[in-house]
Structure 1
Amino acid sequence: MNMLNVSSNAFMIAFFLYCGAFIVHAIAVMGRKFSNREPEAHVKKWGRFGLILTLIGLGSQLVYFFTRWAGSGHIPVSNMYEFMTFLSMMVIVAFAILYMIYKTSLLGLFALPITIILMAYAAVFPQEVQPLVPSLKSIWLNIHVTLAALGESFFAVGFAAGLMYLLRTVKFDSSAKVDKRQQKWLEFTLVVIIIVIGFIGTVFAFRASGYEAVFVQQQVTDVDTGGTNDSKIEKVIYHMPPLVAPHNSDTESYTSFLGMKEPLFEAPSWMNGVNAGRKLNTVLWSVISGLLLYGVLRLIIRKPLSRALSPYLADIDPDDLDEISYRAIAIGFPIFTLGALIFAMIWAEIAWGRFWGWDPKEVWALITWLYYSAYLHLRLSKGWQGRNSAWLAVLGFLIVMFTLVGVNLIIAGLHSYAGTE
């Protein structure tokens, strides 16, 4: 238990160090215009300081990783909390590798927020050490998951560089139809990110308040084709105010929120599963809180967020961003191929007696691989560079995140392991 306490403390220290490192990287990149003398020396000095803070944070996160491994008896990548924290650590590893290659601080401006969001998102899930299910008790867990996460971390850095490229190159003063469309899609991308942040903030807010609502739901399943049904009573616990009640349920206990004394509506009958209504409720709260946060930011800034961010990147060479985005994905692709496909199929054969079974996570891992294969083909053979390449990098990471989050939390399958409540 002492090891687990050390692990938890090291995780929190790493989180705050990354927050500090992000601020320092922002000063390095954005503060050059306020430096009256030697702006490049300003960037170098603050960039080095930001890198040191980042590496100290990585060291603290490595302490978290190995102490949790020692305390649990298995590599900590077996549920959503552990995997997302490991992925956030791999994003920093990918950032550090690319920093050594390109010697630029600008990636820290966007790579570190990705890490911070992933760590905050991980903290949403149950953090207790849980026993491994039988299929996870294998050395292939270490090989498959770690390589897959490392490959995805390079995709994350490619996404960060691609998003920065778009913010740098989209013409916000143009009224041309193509530029207006680019502006709208870029703002939509930022809205999606803010919705994720809003979801995290909402979860922590209601968790801190101790909110809870309990429903009793009757689950009916077909036993055979002769019309015989089997029913059982399930208890569904909400930790956010229920806008949506589970289908065919009764209220056991309910705490009023802002005068709302009952759910607004019931989940439709086609949403099967005891947690279907609760998951729909979480999606609705995420969208509502994210849009409210976006609205507040718009009121403060009084302009689209993408337009507000763009001037701070004016001194950055877009060709550097384009090159970094491509190199990150080019490095991550073979690693992801080994971890998420080849070693995963070997493990599937050992664990389940087949290389491929059309499990949702397997299907989406294949979709991700095909997508980045198409990205590299278009980049190398068709000359898709610049804006086209950047949009592909941004969309690709959204597919990665759905593979990681959506499949585990929404689609039932063999990869829907513990800790996803």
Structure 2
Amino acid sequence: MNFLEISRQAFVIAFYFYCLSFIFYVVAVTGKTWRNRDPKRHERKWGTISFATSSLGLLSHLVYCGTRWAYSGHIPVSNMYEFMSFLSMMIMVAFTVVFLIYRKILLGVFALPIAIIIMAYAAVFPQEVQPLIPSLRSIWLYIHVTLAATGESFFAVGFAAGLMYLLRSIDFGANDKQARRQKWWVEFTLFSIIIVVGFIVSVFTFRAAGYEAVFVQNATNIDTKLEQDSTIEQEVYNLPPIVAPHDSKAVEVQPFLGMDRPWFEAPVWMKGAHAGRQLNTVLWSVLFGAVIYLLLRLILRRPLGALLAPALRSIDPDDLDEISYRAIAIGFPIFTLGALVFAMIWAQQAWGRFWGWDPKEVWALITWLYYSAYLHLRLSRGFQGRKASWLAVLGFVVVMFTLVGVNLIIAGLHSYAGTD
């Protein structure tokens, strides 16, 4: 039995089930306004179909995880493809738990896209099964990574509910200064999500076109304070080079829309072997995201927040506030154990120290401190409603930077993940 092929097929099937479920959730919410429809009956019918479809997707996702585990001999969280796939699966687990408690169908309209985008993001990276490096061959891999991902998945549900609360509570028809500020930040949040979509679209577009640019780069490795060993390294781009590696020379660049050479080099202060390529990827992600956003605005002729807000009129904003808080309250102790306590124990075993100020460690601590402040303000200072929702939204931005930005932009001991 080819477990690897089964896992690949199960991953694709889960993705399609999630997309289909998202469509069904949209029908369940928007179809209530159709003519000659009993709103409650329609919502109940399509809500059941939507949840059943998302559950089938989750089942297929679990098959992916189990068969890839059986093939590799270790839990599939050892590189970016595996970890982001696992995170999207845990987001669906968290969504399922919260949905069974609160039975809010509209939550699926916002939670499903997060899982879908993260799955698509995972598919960007190399999907080959890689042997574990020595520092990862530990039972703590299972405990640390899975608990951290589980905690982050509940933060994602809290983010979805918080964003829904903002869309529900903000008056998009008002033009006073405070309302304009609130609307701008909601729109910026939606634009940030579209930038992630832009990253996925840009990578798959140029990958399908077979684009490639090759540079040779002078790399100086300092072995001691007195000796230097200069070597030449090759850097391959799969996106047209806006930014060239620092101190490099182009060997082969396929022209694209008149771009036959990079516009500038990556600055010398950017650390990491692939800093130039990663900065180039960020720029293309922002560019594609901006184009997608402008096209949506052109087609829809109004801000995305104003488009989504009417769909939430029938839902109680207090319920959304409660869901966001409960999801974060569930995720916080799980994240504390996985991302900090067990991570430090593993760091002591693997590297001989509990804490080393590695970028991933620092940002995990920042994430923990942030959600600690959220819970403190919520419980002791009475931060509820819009204030708490903004904190929940911003918190997940911190989580995503910890997961994505640190791995792709900042070099460190946690940069073992495949980021081809």
- Report the TM-score, using the length of structure 2 for normalisation: 0.97
Distance 2:146 2:246 in 1: 39
Q: Which has the larger displacement, 71-80 or 264-273?
A: 264-273
Distance 2:147 2:259 in 1: 47
Q: Which amino acid aligns with 1:403?
A: T
Distance 2:253 2:317 in 1: 53
Distance 1:35 1:320 in 2: 28
Q: Tell me by how many angstroms 1:388 deviates.
A: 0.3
Distance 1:353 1:270 in 2: 29
Change (3 A) 1:225 1:346: closer
Task: Please give the secondary structure, in 2, of the residue aligned with 1:256.
Answer: coil
Which residue does the alignment assign to 2:407?
408
Which residue does the alignment assign to 2:97?
97
Change (3 A) 1:336 1:298: same
1:367-406 deviation per Cα after TM superposition (whole angstroms, max 9, x unaligned): 1111101101111111111100000000000000111111
Q: Which amino acid aligns with 1:407?
A: V
Q: Is the 1:35–1:42 contact (alpha carbons within 8 Å) kept by the matching residues of 2?
A: no
Distance 1:224 1:355 in 2: 26
Structure 1 unaligned spans of 5+: none
Which residue does the alignment assign to 1:248?
247
Distance 1:256 1:108 in 2: 43
Which residue does the alignment assign to 1:234?
233
Q: Tell me by how many angstroms 1:269 deviates.
A: 2.3
Matched, 1:194 2:194: yes
Change (3 A) 1:270 1:322: same
Matched, 1:183 2:191: no
1:263-313 deviation per Cα after TM superposition (whole angstroms, max 9, x unaligned): 112222222433111111101101110001111001001111111111121
Q: Which amino acid aligns with 1:287?
A: V
How large is the Cα RMSD of the aligned pairs? 1.3
Which residue does the alignment assign to 1:318?
317
Change (3 A) 1:327 1:273: closer
Q: Is the 1:30–1:313 contact (alpha carbons within 8 Å) kept by the matching residues of 2?
A: no
Structure 2 unaligned spans of 5+: none
Which residue does the alignment assign to 1:381?
380
Q: Tell me by how many angstroms 1:201 deviates.
A: 0.5
Which residue does the alignment assign to 2:283?
284
Distance 2:104 2:172 in 1: 26
Matched, 1:109 2:109: yes
Q: Which amino acid aligns with 2:339?
A: A
Q: Is the 1:21–1:50 contact (alpha carbons within 8 Å) kept by the matching residues of 2?
A: yes
Task: Please give the secondary structure, in 2, of the residue aligned with 1:343.
Answer: helix
Task: Please give the secondary structure, in 2, of the residue aligned with 1:107.
Answer: helix
- Report the TM-score, using the length of structure 1 for normalisation: 0.97
Which residue does the alignment assign to 1:359?
358
Q: Tell me by how many angstroms 1:224 deviates.
A: 5.0
Identity %: 67
Aligned pairs for 1:13-412 within 5 A:
13-34=13-34, 36-222=36-222, 225=225, 229-412=228-411
Task: Please give the secondary structure, in 2, of the residue aligned with 1:76.
Answer: coil
Distance 1:335 1:30 in 2: 35
Q: Tell me by how many angstroms 1:172 deviates.
A: 1.1
Q: Tell me by how many angstroms 1:409 deviates.
A: 1.4
Distance 2:153 2:310 in 1: 27
1:68-115 deviation per Cα after TM superposition (whole angstroms, max 9, x unaligned): 011111110011000000000000100110111112211111110000
Distance 2:147 2:247 in 1: 43
1:244-278 deviation per Cα after TM superposition (whole angstroms, max 9, x unaligned): 11111111111111122211122222224331111
Which residue does the alignment assign to 2:416?
417
Q: Is the 1:234–1:274 contact (alpha carbons within 8 Å) kept by the matching residues of 2?
A: no
1:18-55 deviation per Cα after TM superposition (whole angstroms, max 9, x unaligned): 00000111111222122544312211111111010011
Distance 2:180 2:17 in 1: 38
Q: Is the 1:172–1:179 contact (alpha carbons within 8 Å) kept by the matching residues of 2?
A: yes
Which residue does the alignment assign to 2:6?
6
Change (3 A) 1:70 1:341: same
Q: Which has the larger displacement, 251-260 or 90-99?
A: 251-260
Q: Which amino acid aligns with 2:145?
A: V
Q: Which amino acid aligns with 1:357?
A: G
Q: Is the 1:88–1:153 contact (alpha carbons within 8 Å) kept by the matching residues of 2?
A: yes
Task: Please give the secondary structure, in 1, of the residue aligned with 2:106.
Answer: coil
Distance 1:270 1:331 in 2: 40
Q: Which amino acid aligns with 1:319?
A: D
Distance 1:33 1:323 in 2: 26
Q: Tell me by how many angstroms 1:223 deviates.
A: 5.1
Distance 1:273 1:110 in 2: 35
Q: Is the 1:7–1:68 contact (alpha carbons within 8 Å) kept by the matching residues of 2?
A: yes
Q: Is the 2:170–2:179 contact (alpha carbons within 8 Å) kept by the matching residues of 1?
A: yes
Task: Please give the secondary structure, in 1, of the residue aligned with 2:411.
Answer: coil
Distance 2:261 2:161 in 1: 45
Q: Which amino acid aligns with 1:254?
A: V
Distance 1:320 1:113 in 2: 21
Q: Tell me by how many angstroms 1:225 deviates.
A: 4.9
Q: Is the 1:217–1:274 contact (alpha carbons within 8 Å) kept by the matching residues of 2?
A: no
Q: Which amino acid aligns with 2:372?
A: S
